Amino acid sequence: MSRFVNVALGQLGPIQRTDSRQQVVSRLCALMREAHALGAHLIVFPELALTTFFPRWYIEDEEDINSFFEREMPSAATQPLFDLARELGMGFYLGYAELAQEQGKAVRYNTSIIVNRQGEIIGKYRKVHLPGHAEHEPWRRFQHLEKRYFTPGNHFGVTPAFGGIFGMAICNDRRWAETYRAMGLQGVEMVLIGYNTPVHNAPAPQHDDLSLFQNQLSMQAGAYQNGTWVVGVAKAGLEEGVDSIGGSCIVAPSGEVVARCITKGDEVAIARCDLDFCAIYKRTTFNFDLHRRPEAYGLLVERKGETLAADGTAVGVLNAP
Ligand code: ING
């Protein structure tokens, strides 16, 4: 018996700094309605989907920074999205900037949630791999201050959803093999990822022409090597003077792209995803119990500047001739 989930890419075009939460939420609702008309059970929205990608600016005023964050989810501005999800019987993934309270302290995260078809939050994830830098670097055409504005999350979890096992990641996470393997070892069958990826990568401009290729490469590799579906959704286009890639796509456990967006604006594309299609990879090529050899990987405890074996002894070149 196949477990099908009809998944929609809910790609967003630019969100300008002055766009209100209400304006953005009405765009998200329009995408959700279109996806519903196409038979979707789930729609995936981008990273930081409620605001412009503000880490491109060096902002000093704390209240100005906080204006991009959500103190509660749902809030009055985002409640219409949850109401529509319940009305249409459609789940969603949403990326947003979270202002959390922890032991009386405000903590800022780059966060995503999974909401089920009844409009209830059933999973929350905080971005582990924060790219960019923490201090103002005026040599750049634009900043990428995620290390300044966010506290990193510290684990990848999975949650039962839509009849299968679902996981989340955010943007830069998709470039790291460990992201998918950490969830692959938990049996993940679909990984949902939102992203904001500028075409121009200031530290390595020679990679700019490869931005779309490396976006897709990362997700195809993660899907195939862990026998999981991967769904990646962009906030795309020219946003406050910075051009970001599109390339939203759905990747099957085979590594094949089965759906993609073809514009850099608000766009829906859909695929019928059979979660049972994961099994043929998890049972054969990537049967971790049968074939994976963690004992041979020199499971190293990595500390800044030194590499130690699991038993704490320092190691040189592993398996030196
Ligand atoms: N954006 C980019 C990403 O990982 C980046 C940052 C671009 C890092 C290109 C390395 C190369 O897609 C976010 N928001 O992580």
The string of DSSP codes covering 62-83 is HHHHHTTSBSSSS-TTTHHHHH
Q: Each residue of 94-147: pLDDT tens digit?
A: 999 999 999 999 999 999 999 999 999 999 999 999 999 999 999 999 999 999
Bridge-based pairing of strands 257-260 and 306-308 is unpaired
Give every CB contact of residue 270 below 8 A, 6+ residues apart in sequence: 6, 7, 8, 9, 35, 38, 39, 40, 259
Pick the atom of ligand 1 nearest to 198's CA.
7
User: 307: which strand partners?
Assistant: 302
Q: Give me the pLDDT at residue 1, please.
A: 76
Helix %, strand %, coil % of the chain (to 5): 30, 30, 45
Residue type, 213: F
Task: Say if residue 267 is exposed, middle or buried (CB neighbours under 10 Å; 0-12, 13-18, 19+).
Answer: buried
Q: Give me the pLDDT at residue 298, please.
A: 74
Q: Give me the pLDDT at residue 254, please.
A: 98
The answer to whether residue 293 sits within a structural domain is: no
Mean pLDDT by 10 residues, the chain (321 residues): 95 98 98 98 99 98 98 98 98 98 97 98 98 98 98 97 98 98 98 98 97 98 99 98 98 99 98 98 98 84 55 52 41
Backbone angles phi, psi at 154, to 5 degrees: -135, 20
The answer to whether residue 294 sits within a structural domain is: no
Strands (E), 103-153: 105-115, 121-126
Give the residue whose CA is nearest to atom 11 of ligand 1. Answer: 201
Backbone angles phi, psi at 77, to 5 degrees: -70, -30
Q: Give me the pLDDT at residue 161, please.
A: 98
Residue type, 73: M
- Taken in order 137, 108, 62, 245, the sign of the CA dihedral is positive
* Residue 171 backbone class (left: φ over 0; alpha: ψ -120 to 50; beta: rest): left
Q: What is the CATH number of the domain that holds 57?
A: 3.60.110.10
Give CA–CA dist 267/281, Å, rounded: 31
Bridge-based pairing of strands 190-195 and 164-170 is parallel
Give CA–CA dist 247/312, Å, rounded: 43
Residue with tokens 């990848």: 156
Catalytic center residues: 47, 127, 171
Query: Ligand 1 center to residue 128 CA distance, Å?
Result: 13
Question: Ligand 1 pocket test: which of 133, 171, 197, 218 has the largest number of ligand atoms within 8 Å of its C-beta?
Answer: 197
What share of the chain has pLDDT > 90, as a percent? 91
The answer to whether residue 162 sits within a structural domain is: yes
Query: Ligand 1 center to residue 96 CA distance, Å?
Result: 16
The answer to whether residue 301 sits within a structural domain is: no
On the CB side of 166, CA atoms within 13 Å amount to 27
Domain count of the fold of the chain: 1
Pick the atom of ligand 1 nearest to 195's CA.
14
User: 181: which strand partners?
Assistant: none
Ligand 1 pocket by Cβ (under 6 Å): 131, 171-172, 175, 195-197, 201
What's the domain range around 245?
A: 4-286
The answer to whether residue 310 sits within a structural domain is: no
Give CA–CA dist 43/91, Å, rounded: 6
Q: Each residue of 64-73: pLDDT tens digit?
A: 999 999 999 9
Pick the atom of ligand 1 nearest to 171's CA.
15
The answer to whether residue 319 sits within a structural domain is: no
SS3 280: helix
Put simply, whether the predicted model's pTM sits higher than 0.85 gets the answer: yes
The answer to whether residue 318 sits within a structural domain is: no
